[in-house]
Every structure is written in C-alpha cells, then in structure tokens.
Structure 1
C-alpha cells in the first residue's frame, strides 16, 4: 500500500495547498513551524519524487528543482480508499457498511456520482 509518513504528508500538504510548483526553500519556509533543515526537506521531496507522489522540473535558473504534486489530494485519498477496500474480506459488505455510515449529504454525493449527476471529476474520468 502506497502510504505517506508524517513528514511526507506535511510536505504533500504544502504542495497541495500551493497553486504553483515550489522549490525546496519555499517548502522549508511553509513548514517553518516544524523547524526542519533544508537537507531534510530536500531528502523528503526526493523520496516523494521516486515514489511518484511529486514531479520535479528545473527552475528558471537551471540549478534548482521545483516540485509539484503528481495528483490532487482528492485523487490520493480516493486511491487510499480503494486500497483499504482491497483489504476487506467481503468488498460488497464493506461498501454497504460504508454507504450506511456516511451522513445523508455525503450519501447524496455518492448517489449523484454513481448516476452521473454529480460534479464532473476533475481528473476528467467518469
């Protein structure tokens, strides 16, 4: 199961919150309350790139990297939900239990998505 550690999750939260790719220095600045070393954040971003959670591109100066989340937070969470569902002995029972445990408003969102009346999927898939 592809999972994120606590520090990886904090870094991903920074990237998901940004509208543009970020350098290591920008991520360090956004995580200032954690008092992390530059090299620690650089290592985490490199690990996330190897795991395909982030993409990196050269910055305009040609020396530094800029990092961006490879997928949206929603896509990541949906993937986690599917992976957890794979752990169920009885997928149908797990789905029924899940559907019955969510609030009515969220059940309505699920119903609309299943019938094609919900919001369009931002990834472009149906």
Structure 2
C-alpha cells in the first residue's frame, strides 16, 4: 500500500477521528467543516480528495440522497501496519530490517512488542495466518 500525500493524510485523519468518536460516515461537507479551522480549502478540493481516496481503496462510499458518505476501509493502525509491511518488502533481508527496527524502539515500545509476541505464541493460541 502506498503512502498518502499530505492533504490525503489530513482528510484521512478527519475520517479516522470521526470513527474513533463513534460518528457515522462523513460527507464532503462534514470533512470541509472539520478542516475549516486549519485549512482554507475549496469544497470541490475536498470532494476530489475523497473521490481519489475512494478510488485508491482507502475509503468506501455510499449514497445519501445527493451526497456521498465516506468511511475508512481500514483503521489508522491497519494503514500504518500496511506501510510497515510494505517497507519490509523493500529490503532484501527482512530479518535484519526487523532486528534493526527493534533495536531502535524505546523500552516502552519494546515491552509492547514482547507482550504482543507472548500473546500470539502462548500455548493454545493459533498463530496468525
């Protein structure tokens, strides 16, 4: 999965924040309003970015009268995971890249990794596909 441009990331952050808050899918107008304080964007620009994100498979959309409602296909964490896996695929030695990554994380982050590994490798647990 490719990275997003700055404006695409900003729009996705609005949609992920709405999802985190338990709100329904957003219209282009909802996104425009959410961005109004930070950016001076034409409504048509927001519509174009939403359409582009839907074509990239980042968003699903459904008709709501004359408008479209958009919601993310994946969570923010799922998207970042795909970016990380894509970066691993770019190296000739995934193991070496993983070791280098793990050595660069903070102690708190290392503890999170240890807990996740213990969780997926504990007896009785099926390994992930």
TM-score, reference length from structure 1: 0.87
* Alignment of 1:109 onto 2:112: yes
Match in the other structure for 1:121? none
Match in the other structure for 1:24? 28
1:36-115 matched pairs, under 5 angstroms: 36-59=41-64, 62-115=65-118
Shift >4 Å, 4+ stretches = none
> For 1:49-76, what per-residue CA distance to the aligned partner results, in whole angstroms no more than 9, with x for missing partners?
01110111122xx211111111100000
Match in the other structure for 1:7? 7
TM-score, reference length from structure 2: 0.85
Tell me the CA shift for residue 95 of structure 1.
Answer: 0.4
> For 1:75-123, what per-residue CA distance to the aligned partner results, in whole angstroms no more than 9, with x for missing partners?
0001000101111221111101111111111111111111216xxxxxx
CA RMSD in angstroms comes to 1.5
Q: Which runs of 5+ in 1 are unaligned?
A: 118-124
CA distance in 1, matches of 2:57, 2:118: 32
Count of aligned pairs between the two proteins = 117
Match in the other structure for 2:123? none
Q: Which runs of 5+ in 2 are unaligned?
A: 121-126
